Amino acid sequence: MDAQTLASTGISALMLSAIYILMALGFALLLSVMGVLNFAHSALYMVAGYICYEFTVGFGLSGWLSLILTVVVMGAFGVFLERFCFRPFFGDTNRIIVIALALIVILESLMNILVGTAVRKVPDFISGTIKFSGFQVSQQRILVTFIGAAVLIALIILIQNTRRGQQMLAVAQDFVGATLQGINIYRTMAFATVIACALAALAGSLGGAVYYLNPFIGDQMLVKAIEVVILAGIGSISGVFAGGLILGIIDAFLPMVLSGVATDATGLGIVVLILLFRPQGLFGHEA
Amino acid sequence: MGGLIGLIVLLFLLPMIIQQQTYYLHVFIIVLIYIIVVSSLRTVALSGQLSVGHAAFMGVGAYFSGVITRELAISPWLAIPLGGLASMLVAVLIGYPFTRVRAIYFSMISLFGGIIIVDLIMVAQKWTGAAGLANIPLLSPINIPGIGNITFLGQKLPYYYCTLILTLVCLFILYRLEHSRVGINWKAIAQSHMVASSVGINEAYYRVLALAVGCFFAGLAGAWYAHYTLVLGTSTFGFLPSIYLVMYMLVGGQKRFAGPIIGTTILVMVPELVRSLKESAPLVLGAIMVIVVFLMPQGIVGLFDQIRVRYRKSNKRKVTESVAGN
Amino acid sequence: MVILGICLVLVMLLMPVLVSCSQEVTTSSTKAATTTQAAAATTKAIATTTQAAATTTQPAQTLKIGGLVSLTGFASASESLIRDGLLLFQQWYNEQNRLTINGTKYNIEFVFEDVQSTAEGATAAATKLVNDTGVKFIVGGVVPFMTLAAGTVTEPAQVLRVILYTTHSEEYGPQTPYTFISNDATTDFAGPDSDYLVANFPNVKKIAVLTPDDGGPPIFMPMVQKTIESRGLSLAGDYVLWPLDATDFTSYVNKALAQKPDAIFFINGWPIHMGPMLKIAREAGFTGPIFGCHEDPYDIAAIAGTQASNNFYVHNIQVDSPQMTDIIKNIMSLSQAAYNKQSPTYVWGWNSAYCLMQAIEKAGSLDTTAVKTAWEGLDKIDTVYGPGVMGGLVSYGIKHNVSYATPFCQLVDGQVKFIGFEPVSLP
B23 neighbourhood in chain C, CB within 8 Å = 127-128, 131-132
pLDDT tens figures, C318-339: 988 888 899 999 999 999 999 8
In a domain, C201, yes or no: yes
The answer to whether the CB atoms of A89 and B293 lie below 8 A apart is yes
Name the residue in chain C with its Cα closest to that of A78. Answer: C5
| CB-CB under 8 Å, A220 with C245 | yes
Write out pLDDT tens, residues C354-377.
999 999 998 888 899 999 999 998
- Closest residue of chain C to A116, computed from CA coordinates: C77
How far apart are alpha carbons B294 and B264 in whole angstroms?
19
Is B129 in CB contact (< 8 Å) with chain C?
yes
Contacts of B260 in chain A (CB under 8 A): none
- C89 contacts B206 by C-beta, under 8 angstroms: no
Nearest CA in chain B to C77: B279
Residues of chain A contacting C275 with CB distance shorter than 8 Å: 119, 121, 212
pLDDT of residue C26: 33
Q: Is the dihedral of CA B148, B152, B154, B155 positive or negative?
A: positive
Any idea which of A35-44, B17-26, B102-111 has the lowest mean pLDDT?
Answer: B17-26
Residues C343 and C371 in one domain: yes
Check CB contact under 8 Å for B108 and A226.
Answer: yes
Query: A113 in a domain, yes or no?
Result: yes
Mean pLDDT of B1-15: 78
Do C179 and C66 belong together in one domain?
Answer: yes
Q: Say if the Cβ atoms of C145 and B235 lie within 8 Å.
A: yes
B227: helix, strand or coil: helix
Q: Which domain holds residue A49?
A: 3-277
Task: Check pLDDT > 50 for residue C54.
Answer: no
Mutate to test the interface with C, among B278, B280, B283 (most CBs of C within 10 A): B278
Overall average pLDDT of the C259-265 stretch: 93
Q: Are B22 and C127 in contact (CB < 8 Å)? A: yes
pLDDT given for residue C12 in this prediction: 43
Set of chain A residues whose Cβ sits within 8 Å of the Cβ of B97: 276
User: Which of C118, C148, C213 is closest, CB to CB, to B134?
Assistant: C148
CB C185 within 8 A of CB C160: no
Residue C415 phi, psi dihedral angles, 5° rounding: -100, 150
Average of pLDDT values for B201-207?
86
Claim to verify: residue C194 and residue C307 sit in the same structural domain: yes
Residue A127 CA to residue C303 CA, distance in Å, equals 12
Q: How far is CA A122 from the centre of its chain?
A: 17
Q: Residues A139-160: pLDDT tens digits?
A: 888 999 999 999 988 988 888 8
Of the candidates C76, C113, C118, which has its C-beta nearest B233's C-beta?
Answer: C118
Query: Per the CB < 8 Å rule, is B286 touching A223?
Result: no
Selecting from B108, B119, B286 the residue whose C-beta is nearest the C-beta of A106 gives B286
Q: Which pLDDT value is given to residue C58?
A: 58
Name the minimum distance, in Å, from the CA of B204 to any CA of chain A: 15
Residues of chain B contacting A230 with CB distance shorter than 8 Å: 105, 108-109, 112
* Residue B326 pLDDT greater than 60, yes or no: no
Mean pLDDT of C259-284: 91
Closest partner CB to C285 (pick from A54, A80, A136): A136
pLDDT value at residue A150: 92
Q: Which domain holds residue C194?
A: 190-314
By the 8 A CB rule, do B63 and B87 touch?
no
B130 pLDDT more than 70: no
Strand segments (E) across C104-168: 104-114, 137-139, 160-163
CATH number at residue C295: 3.40.50.2300
pLDDT (average), residues C183-194 = 86
For the cut 90, the answer to whether the pLDDT of residue C148 exceeds it is no
Q: Is A153 exposed, middle or buried (0-12, 13-18, 19+ CB in 10 A)?
A: exposed
Domain B2-268, CATH among 3.40.50, 1.10.287, 1.10.3470, 3.30.70: 1.10.3470
* Residues C254, C360 within the same domain: no
For residues C181 and C209, membership in a common domain is answered with no
Nearest Cβ partner of C118 from B135, B235, B282? B235
Are B131 and C145 an interchain contact pair (Cβ–Cβ within 8 Å)?
yes
Instruction: Check CB contact under 8 Å for A115 and C255.
Output: no
Q: Are B122 and C149 within 8 A, CB to CB?
A: no
Separation CA C184–CA C399 (nearest Å): 13
User: Which of A119, A129, A142, A164 to probe by mutation at the C interface, max C CB count within 10 Å?
Assistant: A119
Q: Is residue A111 part of a domain?
A: yes
Q: What is the ipTM of this complex?
A: 0.88
**The pLDDT value given to residue C248:** 87
C248 Cα distance to chain centroid: 25
Q: Are B36 and B171 in contact (CB under 8 A)?
A: yes
Indicate the helix (H) or strand (E) that contains C18. Answer: helix C2-21
CA distance B22 to C132: 7
- Separation CA C35–CA C29 (nearest Å): 12
Q: Contact C404/C397 with Cβ under 8 angstroms? A: no
Q: What is the pLDDT of residues C203-248, one digit of tens each?
A: 999 999 999 888 788 888 998 999 999 999 999 989 999 988 788 8
Cα–Cα distance for residue pair B250/B42, rounded to 1 Å: 9
CB atoms B105 and A234 under 8 Å: yes
Contacts of B126 in chain C (CB under 8 A): 218
Residue A169: inside a domain? yes
Between B38-47, B317-326, C254-263, the lowest mean confidence (pLDDT) is in: B317-326
Could you list the pLDDT tens digit for every one of the 287 residues in chain A?
Answer: 678 888 888 999 999 999 999 999 999 888 888 888 888 899 999 999 999 998 888 888 888 899 999 999 999 999 988 888 888 888 777 888 888 889 888 988 888 888 766 788 888 888 778 888 778 888 888 999 999 999 988 988 888 888 888 888 888 877 788 888 888 888 888 899 999 999 999 999 999 999 988 888 888 889 899 889 888 887 777 788 889 999 999 988 888 888 777 888 888 888 888 888 887 778 776 54
Same domain, C238 and C257: yes
Q: Are B117 and B56 in contact (CB under 8 A)?
A: yes
Contact at 8 Å (CB) between B243 and A101? yes
Q: At what angle do helices B181-191 and B203-229 cross, to 10 degrees?
A: 110
pLDDT at residue C61, rounded to an integer: 86
Average pLDDT of the residues of chain C: 83
What is the reported pLDDT for B131?
63
pLDDT digits (tens, 9 = 90+) for B286-311: 999 898 888 888 888 888 777 888 88
Q: Express as a percent the part of chain C with pLDDT over 90.
A: 39
- pLDDT, tens digit, for every residue of A36-79? 888 889 999 999 999 999 888 888 888 889 999 999 999 999 99
Q: Would you say C116 and C146 are in contact if contact means Cβ atoms under 8 Å apart? A: no
Residue in chain B closest to A285 (alpha carbons) equals B105
Please report the residues numbered 268 through 287 in chain B whose beta carbons come closer than 8 angstroms to any beta carbon of chain C.
272, 275, 278-279, 281-282
DSSP one-letter string for C206-248: EEEEEEE-SS-HHHHHHHHHHHHHHTT-EESSSPEEE-TT-S-
Closest Cα partner for A216 from B281, B235, C74? C74
Neighbors of chain A by Cβ distance (3+ pairs < 8 Å): B, C
Quickly list H helices, chain B. 2-17, 22-46, 54-72, 76-95, 103-123, 125-128, 157-178, 181-191, 193-198, 203-229, 239-252, 258-273, 281-295, 300-325
Q: Is the pLDDT of residue C394 over 90?
A: no
Domain map of chain B by residue range? Answer: 2-268
Name which of C31, C114, C167 to mutate to probe chain B: the one with the most chain B Cβ atoms within 10 A of its Cβ. C114
Select from C314, C337, C370 the last residue of a domain.
C314
Give the Cα-Cα-Cα angle C24, C27, C32 (nearest 5 degrees): 75
Nearest CA of chain C to the CA of B281: how many Å?
9
Cβ of B306 under 8 Å from any chain C Cβ? no
Which has the minimum average pLDDT: B143-147, C21-25, C128-132, C309-313?
A: C21-25
Q: Give the E-state strand segments of C244-359 in sequence order.
A: 263-266, 290-291, 312-314
| pLDDT of C14 higher than 60 | no
Choose the closest CB to B246 out of A97, A116, A223: A97
pLDDT of residue A119: 80
**What CATH number has the domain bearing residue A140?**
1.10.3470
Using CA atoms, how far apart are residues B214 and A196, in angstroms rounded to an integer? 36
Enumerate the residues of chain B whose CB falls inside 8 A of the CB of residue A229: 108
A285 domain residue, yes or no: no
Same domain, C121 and C181: yes
Lowest mean pLDDT among A125-129, A201-205, B182-186, C161-165: A125-129
Which residue in C1, C77, C248 is closest to A116 by CB distance?
C77
Interface list for C 311-340 with A (CB within 8 A) = none
C-alpha–C-alpha distance, residues B45 and B42, integer Å: 5
Chain B residue numbers touching A108 (CB-CB < 8 A): 282
Q: Are the beta carbons of C261 and C236 closer than 8 angstroms? A: yes
Which is higher by pLDDT, B151 or A32? Answer: A32
Residues of A in contact with B102 (CB under 8 A): 287
Name the amino acid, one letter, at A273.
L
Arithmetic mean of pLDDT, B165-184: 92
Single-letter code of the amino acid located at A64: W
- Bridge partners, C100 (sequence order): C105
Chain C, 205 to 224: residues with Cβ < 8 Å from chain A are 213
* Residue C14 or A59, more confident: A59
A126: in domain: yes
Report strand pairing: C179-181 vs C240-242: unpaired
Q: What is the pLDDT of residue B156?
A: 79
Measured between beta carbons, the chain A residues lying within 8 angstroms of B289 are: 98-99, 101-102, 105
Q: Which residue of B has its CA nearest to A42?
A: B240
CA distances from A129 to A8, A40, A122 (A): 11, 35, 18
Size of interface A-B (CB pairs under 8 A): 107
Please check whether residue C240 lies inside any domain of the structure.
yes
Neighbours of chain C (3+ CB pairs under 8 A): A, B
C-alpha C384/C-alpha C88 separation (Å) is 13
Task: Show contacts of B304-312: CB within 8 Å, 24+ apart.
Answer: B305/B256
**Cβ contacts (< 8 Å) between A94 and chain B: which residues?**
250, 254
C92 within domain boundaries:
yes
Interface of C with A in 347-376 (CB under 8 A): none
Helices A139-161 and A163-173 pack at an angle, to 10 degrees, of 80
**What HEC string does C403-415 produce?**
EECEEEEEEECCE
Specify whether C118 is located in the same domain as C175: yes
Contacts of C238 in chain A (CB under 8 A): 259
CA distance C71 to chain B (A): 6
Say how many CB pairs under 8 Å bridge B and C: 101
Q: Per-residue pLDDT tens for B47-78?
A: 888 899 999 999 999 999 988 888 888 888 88
SS3 assignment, position C112:
strand
Number of domains comprising chain C:
2
Does residue C80 lie within any of the structural domains? yes
Q: Is the pLDDT of residue C309 over 50?
A: yes
Apex B144 CA angle, B138 and B147, nearest 5: 110
Question: Worst-scoring range by mean pLDDT, A127-136, C36-45, C388-397?
Answer: C36-45
Q: What is the spatial distance between Cα A107 and Cα A105, in angstroms, rounded to a whole number?
A: 6
Residues C249 and C180 in one domain: no
Q: Closest approach of chain B CAs to the CA of C134, in angstroms?
A: 10
Burial of C395 (0-12, 13-18, 19+ CB in 10 A): middle
Chain A residues inside the 8 Å CB shell of C247 = 207, 211, 217, 220-221
Is residue C381 within a helix (H) or strand (E), and if so which, with residue range? strand C380-383
Q: C248 and A251 in contact (C-beta within 8 Å)?
A: yes
Counting the structural domains of chain A, the total is 1
pLDDT band at B145 (very low <50, low <70, confident <90, very high): low
Closest CA to A254 of C254, B19, B232: C254
Residue C257 lies in a domain: yes
Angstrom distances, CA of residue A134 to CA of A2, A8, A131, C255, C261:
9, 11, 8, 18, 18
CA A27 remoteness from chain centre: 7
Determine the pLDDT at residue C280.
92
